[in-house]
Amino acid sequence: ETAVFQTPNYHVTQVGNEVSFNCKQTLGHDTMYWYKQDSKKLLKIMFSYNNKQLIVNETVPRRFSPQSSDKAHLNLRIKSVEPEDSAVYLCASSYSNSDYTFGSGTRLLVI
Amino acid sequence: GDSVTQTEGQVTVSESKSLIINCTYSATSIAYPNLFWYVRYPGEGLQLLLKVITAGQKGSSRGFEATYNKETTSFHLQKASVQESDSAVYYCALRGDTNAYKVIFGKGTHLHVLP
């Protein structure tokens, strides 16, 4: 099956902990993205990588860091989570500037 | 910066009735951005519904249509007769030019179709 796969689906953690989300695409795309969807359902881009190079780095807190080992993987690490990090994190991929394919999302709850 | 404004909240329509979800955009990075409608059906991931990259053109998919209107900077989503299976969240989006690896989304409109 070719798609964008995200793990975990859901994660609950306490303030100050570190979390890491995984994203893998099997579509042969060369560009991957992380979006954050907050409680108001607004989707905002955080990062995008093209051929393992960071090309979009929006203004996000420094505790967020993307990690790309190859074109098919783009993970997201959050050091010392805060309550406002509670959101759905969506991973997507595309071939260059073509249409996105999204994963099903990772819902983070910080308590 | 670039932005998208669409009908917010929930829209409720009875089956077989017509639908319009408004979307307007502001693109400071480029005169002619690419415009999209994405949809998230219950239990599924966000997926592309239709796109238009040329001003004045119309995109269509699954009975939905949207026309890229440069004069009014609008890209409204319409359907003549909705079905219960159209119940979903719809997002209007644009991609500007200064950084083509970034799509800007609206806040989403939850469509609820009554049987």
pLDDT of residue B98: 56
- CB-based contact (8 Å) between B61 and chain A? no
Q: Furthest-apart CA pair in chain A: how many Å?
A: 38
Is pLDDT at A76 greater than 60 in this prediction? yes
Residue-level pLDDT at B99:
61
Residue with tokens 């670039």: B2
**Nearest 5°: phi and psi at B29?**
-85, -20
For residue range A12-29, what is the model confidence (pLDDT) as tens digits?
Answer: 999 999 999 999 999 999
pLDDT score recorded for residue A9: 95
Dump the DSSP string for B68-96.
-BTTTTB--EEESS--GGG-EEEEEEEE-
pLDDT of A52 above 70: yes
* pLDDT for the residue B70: 93
Single out the residue of A10, A18, A16, A55 nearest to residue A34, CA to CA.
Answer: A55
Q: How confident is the model at residue A40 (pLDDT cuts 50, 70, 90)?
A: confident
> B48 and A100 in contact by Cβ < 8 A?
yes
According to DSSP, the residues that pair with B103 across neighbouring strands are: B95
**Within an 8 Å CB–CB cutoff, is residue B48 touching chain A?**
yes
Q: Which residues, at least 6 apart from A63, have a Cβ–Cβ distance to it below 8 Å?
A: A78, A79, A80, A81, A82
The per-residue pLDDT for A30 is 93
pLDDT, averaged across chain A: 93
- For an interface test with B, the pick among A5, A27, A38, A45 (most B C-beta atoms closer than 10 Å) comes out as A45
CA angle, residues B28, B100, A27, in degrees to nearest 5: 150
* pLDDT of residue A31 exceeding 70: yes
Contact criterion met (CB < 8 Å) for B45 and A41: no
> pLDDT at position B75, please?
98
Burial (0-12, 13-18, 19+ Cβ within 10 Å), B16: exposed
Residue B53 gets the label, from left (phi > 0), alpha (psi -120 to 50) or beta, of: alpha
With a cut of 50, list the residues of chain B below it in pLDDT: none
Distance from CA of B114 to the nearest CA of A (A): 23
- A-chain residues near B105 (CB < 8 A): 35, 42-44
Are the Cβ atoms of A42 and B105 closer than 8 angstroms? yes
